Amino acid sequence: MSVSHWNIIKLPISITAETIEIRRLIASFRPVRQQRQNENGRAFKLSRRETTTLDDVAQAAGVSPATVSRCINQPQSVRAEKRVRIERAIEQLGYVPNGSARALASRRSRMIGAILPSLDNMLFGGPLETFQKEIGSAGYTVAVACSEYDQQHERTHIRNFLESPVDALLLVGGHRDPNIYRQIERQGVPYVLTWVSSGDREEHCVGFDNSAAAGHLVDYLVSLGHRRFGMISGFIEQNDRAGARLAGVRKALAKHGLPLEPDHLLQRPFEADAGRDAFHILMSAVEPPTVVVCGSEPHAYGALFEARDMGIAVPDDVSITGFDDMWLSSQTSPPLTTVRTPREEMGRQAAHHLLAQLRGERVVAPRPLETTLVVRKSTGQPRPTPGLNRGHV
């Protein structure tokens, strides 16, 4: 076929591939006009396409397309009266912004990637819900992935999110391969590290001091007279929060001149059944502990259930503590003494920290959030007679 058979269009050098793609997306809709009235009572032509356009919304609301765009991307920058009109027009016309063209034009996807260790319990759900509300009010959507406490799974999710791409990342904990941080920072993606308050990148940390919180709990238990401690911990190899809590227990015990005997420390998955199994082993020892410190709430629930089945009275025979103060803690029998962590406030501050980075603001290391010791009826003074051994046959 000769050149004369082709329609040749000369494009200015300044037109980029992104601009061409946006024009192609816009040109793909074949308009059919329909007469309507806008918010000001003036007639306008509505384009009936596969999707309604931003121009249609602008005409219906009686504002400029730029104002509609600002209302969608930065709603707080538009006056309330105009915002109401625009939102009404969007709802009536069923307008959905074209994500592909919008991302190409702004170089923003308006998506935040959140990678959580688990979706199996409510521990992470509360702060995520708060985070999503704050992020959503600024026009962002949260995409969630689960690492299952596996750093290789988390690495894969991070890579997938960066390829998507997302505008920012929410991660749990701070201990991971430095190359991952270098990859994130090389791409200029803002990120926040939750559930921890210190580390090599503490300017990104929004959380609390896990070690200090566990230490305060131990101080309280020592004040009750406990000297023989047992602990059910999460696996610490890939979990810096569990590691910090264990370190806090050991440090506080050492301060009081007390040991944590090797056979009184068991690492288990964060499951009630695992807590049951570990508690049974601890209480079957020749010299069982007078108090069992659990590094998570599921461990403590399992310990309470197993104590009941073993005929061990809590707190008369042994005290049991948890960590996090989830809603069930006040409903167990007996109600659980635990450490209340500031989960919702952490989600709120994590959102604000990310939004500040997305606005290009310089951020400083946030102050650690406060934890609270919640004393209930699962702890008490130890019995003066040692050697409880209900688990032996």
pLDDT of amino acid 292: 98
Same domain, 88 and 12: yes
The residue that leads in pLDDT, 164 or 207, is 207
Q: Does 385 reside within a domain?
A: no
Same domain, 365 and 306: no
Same domain, 337 and 295: yes
pLDDT of amino acid 188: 92
The residue that leads in pLDDT, 13 or 277, is 277
pLDDT of amino acid 107: 58
Distance CA 339, CA 322 (A): 7
The residue that leads in pLDDT, 20 or 375, is 375
Q: Does 149 reside within a domain?
A: yes
Would the pLDDT of 134 be above 70?
A: yes
Would the pLDDT of 33 be above 70?
A: no
Query: Which ranges of the chain would DSSP assign to H, the alpha helix?
Result: 17-27, 54-61, 65-73, 80-93, 99-106, 125-137, 151-163, 178-186, 210-223, 240-255, 272-283, 297-310, 343-358
Specify the range with the lowest mean pLDDT, choosing from 111-125, 241-255, 288-302: 111-125
Same domain, 217 and 326: yes
CA angle (331, 209, 303) in 5-degree steps: 35
pLDDT interval class at 200 (50, 70, 90): confident
Same domain, 132 and 89: no
Q: Does 277 reside within a domain?
A: yes
Would the pLDDT of 219 be above 70?
A: yes
CB 70 within 8 A of CB 31: no
pLDDT of amino acid 165: 86
What's the domain range around 150?
109-208+343-369
pLDDT interval class at 96 (50, 70, 90): confident
Same domain, 178 and 227: no
pLDDT of amino acid 137: 92
pLDDT interval class at 69 (50, 70, 90): confident
Angle between helix axes 125-137 and 343-358 (nearest 10 degrees) is: 30
Q: Does 379 reside within a domain?
A: no
CATH number of domain containing 236: 3.40.50.2300
Same domain, 171 and 222: no
Q: Does 164 reside within a domain?
A: yes
Angle between helix axes 80-93 and 65-73 (nearest 10 degrees) is: 90
In our burial notation (b when 16+ CB lie closer than 10 A, e otherwise), range 343-375 reads: beebbbbbbbbbbebbeeeeeeebebbebeebe
Helix (H, G, I), strand (E, B) or coil at 33: strand
Same domain, 217 and 118: no
Name the token pair of 311: 């005929």
Q: Does 377 reside within a domain?
A: no
Q: Does 279 reside within a domain?
A: yes
Q: Does 391 reside within a domain?
A: no
Q: What global pTM score does this model have?
A: 0.74
The number of domains in the chain is 3
pLDDT interval class at 1 (50, 70, 90): very low
Helix (H, G, I), strand (E, B) or coil at 172: strand
Beta strands 372-374 and 338-340, pairing class: antiparallel
pLDDT of amino acid 38: 55
Model confidence pLDDT, tens digit, residues 225-251: 999 999 999 999 989 999 999 999 999
- Give mean pLDDT, residues 157-166: 92
List of residues 6+ apart from 233 with CB closer than 8 A: 242, 245, 246, 265, 266, 267, 268, 295
